Amino acid sequence: MTDMTSVPDGVRQAQAGLRERKKARTRAAIREQALRLFREQGYAATTIEQIAAAADVSPATFFRYFPAKEDVVLQDDFDIVTVAALEAQPPELSPIAAFRAAATATALALSPEDRLRFTETTRLTLGVPELRARALDEFARTTEVIAAAIGRRTGRAPDDFAVRNLTGAIIGVIMTATMPWQADSGADIGAMFEKIDASLAHLEAGLPV
- Say what the pLDDT of residue 41 is: 95
Provide the pLDDT for residue 21.
Answer: 86
Q: How far apart are CA 209 and CA 206, in angstroms?
A: 9
Q: Taking the model in full, what pTM does it have? A: 0.76
Q: What does the pLDDT read at residue 153? A: 94
What's residue 13's pLDDT? 58
CA atoms within 13 A on the CB side of 11: 5
Domains for the chain: give ranges and CATH numbers: 1-66 (1.10.10.60), 68-209 (1.10.357.10)
Would you state the pLDDT for residue 162? 96
Q: State residue 125's pLDDT score.
A: 86
pLDDT (tens, 9 = 90+) of the chain, 209 residues, equals 445 445 555 544 555 567 888 998 999 999 999 999 999 999 999 999 999 999 999 999 999 999 999 999 988 778 888 999 999 999 999 999 999 999 999 999 888 888 888 888 888 888 899 898 888 888 888 899 999 999 999 999 999 999 999 999 999 999 888 877 666 655 677 888 899 999 999 999 999 99
**Residues 6 or more apart from 178 whose CB is under 8 A from it?**
192, 195, 196
